Amino acid sequence: MNTKNFIVQQISTAVNQRISYTRCGNTKTTGNVRSLAPILSLVVFLFMALLIVPLSATAQSDITALANTTSDENGNYTFSNLPAGDYIISVAHYITAMGGKWFVGSRYISVGYGEDLTDIDVWLDFGEEATAHDILNATIDPSGLTGTSSISGITLGAGKYGVGEAPKANATVIISSYLKGDLSGDDLLTPADALIALQMAVGTREPDLMGDMNFDGIVTSLDALMILQAV
Ligand SMILES: [Ca+2]
């Protein structure tokens, strides 16, 4: 059995144990000490496995996007001519209030062949100026816009006095394709990505929804397993 298959087997075992604990004890799927035990031991195991699996560099290059646009006065944005695939939509918005603040947000989404996805709203929150500048200065390469799918929605943020939600007009919106699960940013899916997903699952690393393989809004050990199965 090679290293990858062995790791897949270990994660499958841990996930199955977790599911059976959940069924028997009627506990939540997260935060339970018993259910976390196999996951924690798995993290230790994967650290050991990494000693024989080369870890690639994690440096993130500048963003290259397929297209950019500006949301209208009601916050609406649309991207068309998309091939089926996985995309990240990133938004940056500047307000002059409070001495000038940047709002940023992103959303991961998968679109099928010829599908027109609507209501893909992107929530904006206070963000780093550097993050906003990466979005505003993204290199645009439209050569991949050869499909018939579309994605549209609204750029949103908290309403007045932080209550409710309100459309954010004139926000810069970009769309880029991405390799789902590539948490190390080396354009490959490797066991190292699964390890990072596991660290996110147990809370020892800040979650990054690039690792959310099943688009349920959370990175869990199941996502780590799905990454390994895709390696
Ligand atoms: Ca997930």
Q: 197 alpha carbon to ligand 1 midpoint, in Å?
A: 10
The pLDDT tens digits of the residues spanning 156-169 come to 999 888 889 999 99
Q: 38 alpha carbon to ligand 1 midpoint, in Å?
A: 18
Which is more confident, 25 or 197?
197
Average pLDDT, the chain: 84
d(CA 48, CA 63): 33
Other Cβ atoms less than 10 A from the Cβ of 139: the count is 12
Which is more confident, 19 or 82?
82
d(CA 146, CA 190): 29
108 has which bridge partners? 88
Label residue 21 by pLDDT band (50, 70, 90).
very low
pLDDT at position 161, please?
84
Q: Are 180 and 210 in contact (CB under 8 A)?
A: yes
Q: In one letter, which amino acid is 180?
A: K
Residue from 149, 187, 18, 160 nearest 210 by CA = 187
The pLDDT tens digits of the residues spanning 95-106 come to 888 889 999 999
Q: 83 alpha carbon to ligand 1 midpoint, in Å?
A: 23
Torsion over CA of 167, 206, 215 and 147, rounded to 10 degrees? 70
Asked if the model's pLDDT at residue 142 lies above 90, the reply is yes
Q: What is the mean pLDDT of residues 125-150?
A: 95
The pLDDT tens digits of the residues spanning 22-32 come to 444 444 444 44
Q: In one letter, which amino acid is 222?
A: L
d(CA 95, CA 99): 8
Q: 204 alpha carbon to ligand 1 midpoint, in Å?
A: 17
Asked if the model's pLDDT at residue 52 lies above 50, the reply is no
d(CA 6, CA 15): 14
Q: 221 alpha carbon to ligand 1 midpoint, in Å?
A: 8
d(CA 37, CA 44): 11
Asked if the model's pLDDT at residue 223 lies above 60, the reply is yes
Asked if the model's pLDDT at residue 50 lies above 50, the reply is yes
Q: 223 alpha carbon to ligand 1 midpoint, in Å?
A: 5
What are the C-alpha distances in Å from 134 to residues 63, 64, 90, 154?
Answer: 7, 10, 10, 21
Q: Considering the chain, what percentage of its residues have pLDDT values greater than 90? A: 68
Residue extents of the structural domains in the chain: 3-57+184-230, 64-177
Q: Are 179 and 190 in contact (CB under 8 A)?
A: no
Q: 97 alpha carbon to ligand 1 midpoint, in Å?
A: 36
Asked if the model's pLDDT at residue 56 lies above 60, the reply is no
